[in-house]
A and B are shown apart, each in its own frame.
Chain A
Amino acid sequence: DSTVGSPRDCQPCPCPGGSTCAVVPKTKEVVCTNCPAGTTGKSCELCDDGFFGDPLGQDGPVRACRACKCNDNIDPNAVGNCDRETGECLKCIYNTDGFFCDRCKEGFYGKPLASDPKDKCKPCSCSPYGTVGRQTSCLQVTGQCTCLPHVTNRDCSACEPGYFNLRSGTGCERCNCNPIGSTD
């Protein structure tokens, strides 16, 4: 405030890189108006969209702004891909999920870090008849669904040998074939 008339009226802008600043009259808040490249915010404490870091080290050591790190599981044409401070990925694609889009989302399995999207995350597609509680989720890597008693296959879609009636919804039943009259 240059109108008070004291030697301390004008103070240097609290902005990095010699950025200019302005005082908002109503709130007396100081706002940097020309933050260094890649940064933004009242005091240049934030990274631009698509980048994350802590350029002023407000929350620990200084972390320069860098591009969202989401294991190639974000789309460069999207906006708001990660949290500008923590880097948490916010728009995972290819059915991935997690802080760094580093796992498959619920109901999918596979290799989220594979380079070919086709190898990434596939739907569990658990058989509703053979899966415990009709669950739709499966193990992250193998994709194994949780099968009812005597049910087999990754997706719990078949009975073990010697068992039948998958559709019962309670597991497969023993065939009870007479061992003398049966071929298998």
Chain B
Amino acid sequence: PRPDVHPLPPGTNLLFAQSGRIEFVPLESYDMKKTKAKTVLHLPEKVIIGVAYDCVEKMVYWTDITSPSISKANLQGGEPVPVITSDLESPEGIAVDHLGRTVFWTDSMKDRIEMATLDGAQRRVLVDTDLVNPRAIIVDPVRGVMYWADWNREAPKIETAAMDGTNRKVLVQNGLGLPNGLTYDSQSSLLCWADAGSHMIECMDPVQGTRRKVKEGIQYPFGMTSYGKNIYYTDWLRDAVVVVDRHAAKETDEFLPQKRTRVYGITMAHTQCPSGQNYCSVN
């Protein structure tokens, strides 16, 4: 084993990217065990932007903008395995469909949303129109839909479509600034976003369309994930992972990594996959 990286401990962990590292913070119930935080992957020459976790094979997937690519590694000290290495310019957001065994990503230079199987095969462009700065992307394989945010300063928006790119629809257009982070909680069916322009966290029910503010006055969110009552986001000005209790609408904790530099994508790594069937196998 490498002395500078540590295997992911059992239980639920937060994974986040900081430059050429993916760090983990174990969670106990919803609380961060900050003293147990360590590096799980160290790629000193890379700039890792997005991270996603596959709960089936216990692999982390990430986007790298230095040699634009998508790679994966198992979290017990596995070596990086390239997944997509060609025809990328600025791959940023990434999401894994653990049921369909596919990976989805945004590219803010090619202005595309694409998918491929987890080995990089069967690559397909899903959306390539009306995108300016697509970044965050998440998938809900149980309902067969994806969500993404485009922080285009002229017309920021949050959109949804089926996971094959059909049925595209703008969900949010008003009152957005720079929607960098996006997360979906299947328990509450709430889609939440973190906005570095309006400095707010907001949530909506994508089916009913009801929208509400969760927290105002946040600084500079980049990535975002959620677990139960908590929202976890990375902040570019604070160089920190910040925890917000959705129900209490309050910041409850923060984690300051040892290295004082920007933090990027963040995701949850659960020991077990959430129950649920792929909408394809149901229909």
Hey, which bits of chain A sit against chain B, CB under 8 A? 21-25, 31-35, 37-38, 40-42, 46, 48-50, 75, 77-80, 84, 91
Whether B252 is near chain A, meaning CB under 8 Å from some CB there, is no
Among listed B225-233, B242-250, B253-261, interface-contacting one: B253-261
| Contact residues in B for A24 (Cβ distance below 8 Å) | 2, 4
Report which of B2, B42, B65, B180 forms a contact with A77, defined as CB distance below 8 A.
B180
A75 and B1 CA atoms in complex are apart in Å by 40
Q: How far is the CB of A52 from chain B (nearest CB, A)?
A: 13
Establish whether residues A49 and B1, one from each chain, have CB atoms under 8 Å apart when the complex forms.
Answer: no
Closest to B63 in A: A79
A9 and B264 CA atoms in complex are apart in Å by 38
| Contact residues in B for A46 (Cβ distance below 8 Å) | 44-45
Q: A77-B196, A79-B90, A80-B65 given as contacts; is B20 within 8 A of A40 (CB)?
A: yes
List of 5 A-B pairs having minimum Cβ-Cβ separation, nearest first: A22-B4, A22-B3, A80-B65, A49-B47, A33-B4
Whether B140 is near chain A, meaning CB under 8 Å from some CB there, is no
Chain B residue total in the interface (Cβ 8 A): 30
Establish whether residues A79 and B109, one from each chain, have CB atoms under 8 Å apart when the complex forms.
Answer: no
Establish whether residues B65 and A79, one from each chain, have CB atoms under 8 Å apart when the complex forms.
Answer: yes
Whether B49 is near chain A, meaning CB under 8 Å from some CB there, is yes
A48 and B264 CA atoms in complex are apart in Å by 12
A154 and B78 CA atoms in complex are apart in Å by 61
| Contact residues in B for A22 (Cβ distance below 8 Å) | 2-4
Whether B23 is near chain A, meaning CB under 8 Å from some CB there, is no
Report which of A31, A38, A78 forms a contact with B44, defined as CB distance below 8 A.
A31
| Contact residues in B for A75 (Cβ distance below 8 Å) | 133, 153
Establish whether residues A77 and B90, one from each chain, have CB atoms under 8 Å apart when the complex forms.
Answer: no
| Contact residues in B for A34 (Cβ distance below 8 Å) | 258-259
Establish whether residues A25 and B1, one from each chain, have CB atoms under 8 Å apart when the complex forms.
Answer: yes
Report which of A25, A32, A41, A91 forms a contact with B2, defined as CB distance below 8 A.
A25
Closest to B1 in A: A25
Whether B151 is near chain A, meaning CB under 8 Å from some CB there, is yes
A38 and B260 CA atoms in complex are apart in Å by 8
A150 and B47 CA atoms in complex are apart in Å by 55
